[in-house]
Structure 1
Amino acid sequence: MSSPDELPVLRTLEELTGLVERRGSMYVRWSRGPAADLESLSSTDDLTGVPLPGLSANSLDVEPWWDNRPVRVWVARRLYDYAHLPRDKGPGVHPWALRGQESGRGPDNEPLVQDIEPVGWIDARVIEEAAEEVARQEGGWGPLRREGR
């Protein structure tokens, strides 16, 4: 049996966008990978240490209010918003795409996901493409990040 970490690599923003357009219940998780995550199937609240009922992830699914705007921009923003996590969480943290079912919300209102199906690693180049796509937009925003006190 192969390891859950033996996944295809999604190498372009276009490839990931295509998956989001074709499949539902798509998420991105920033962690050390499915093998480590699937052992516990639970995230932990960093502040309190409380175990959460699922893995914290960020939805890649397009919201209805987005209308017919480019899915590529939506996906780019979802990746860009959390691109700081590998720096904050330490070595070995990488983004990977998955399918799953939302089981609740975490303390930062992030989806908690169960019934995980790993889909693929997200290559660093995809994150670079996402940043480039964000830079091309007229409005400005930065990644979601809280500074410690």
Structure 2
Amino acid sequence: MFTVYTLAELAELLSTEKTLYVRYSSGPEADAQRQSTDHESGLPLPGIPANSLNPPRWWTLPAEDWLARRVCQYLRELREGARPWALTGREVDFGPDNEPLLDDVHPVAWLAPALLHEARERYQGNLDAGRATH
């Protein structure tokens, strides 16, 4: 699996894949060896949780701003030893946080630490990061 180093490179990948997702985990090999479970109920999930990187139709800002927002959603998982990677797959259901659950997963690329740094700076600099909805 190759590595993506910038948000621009990640945005370029969006044009080559129908739907691209991001996942924070130990990686595709580790995910393939064990079934995902819901942490609160202990129930097995019918796929692996991931989040779409594709901007919605209403998004009129640069794709890189959307990507920064999506990549930054789960940065806390880095402290837990997870690595971010991009993937494609078939949505089979939704998880407990309403995230898509995927099967038929195809790893695409690792997201480099430099990309995460760029995403964090762009998210905090270009958007009102963490603003409450009320």
Report the Cα distance in structure 2 between the residues aligned to 1:138 and 1:118, rounded to whole angstroms. 29
Mean alpha-carbon deviation: is it higher for 42-51 or for 105-114? 42-51
- Unmatched 5+ residue regions in structure 2? none
Report the Cα distance in structure 1 between the residues aligned to 2:111 and 2:127, rounded to whole angstroms. 26
| Per-residue deviation, residues 116-148 of structure 1 (Å, max 9, x unmatched) | 110011111111100111122252327xxxxxx
Letter in 2 for 1:108: D
Report the Cα distance in structure 2 between the residues aligned to 1:86 and 1:62, rounded to whole angstroms. 23
TM-score (norm 2): 0.91
Report the Cα distance in structure 2 between the residues aligned to 1:96 and 1:38, rounded to whole angstroms. 14
For 1:77, the equivalent position in structure 2 comes to 69
| Per-residue deviation, residues 6-51 of structure 1 (Å, max 9, x unmatched) | x1111111111111233221100100000011224x3111111111
Structure-to-structure mapping, 1:80-95, within 5 angstroms: 80-87=72-79, 90-91=80-81, 93-95=82-84
Give yes or no for the alignment of 1:123 onto 2:112. Answer: yes
User: Among the aligned pairs, what percent are the same residue?
Assistant: 41
Give yes or no for the alignment of 1:104 onto 2:93. Answer: yes
Report the Cα distance in structure 1 between the residues aligned to 2:53 and 2:4, rounded to whole angstroms. 14
Give yes or no for the alignment of 1:8 onto 2:5. Answer: no
Report the Cα distance in structure 2 between the residues aligned to 1:140 and 1:58, rounded to whole angstroms. 18
| Aligned residues between the structures | 131
CA RMSD of aligned residues (A): 1.4
- Choose the corresponding residue for 2:30, options 21, 32, 36: 36
Report the Cα distance in structure 1 between the residues aligned to 2:70 and 2:101, rounded to whole angstroms. 16
| Per-residue deviation, residues 95-119 of structure 1 (Å, max 9, x unmatched) | 0100111111001111101111100
Report the Cα distance in structure 2 between the residues aligned to 1:43 and 1:28, rounded to whole angstroms. 16
TM-score (norm 1): 0.82
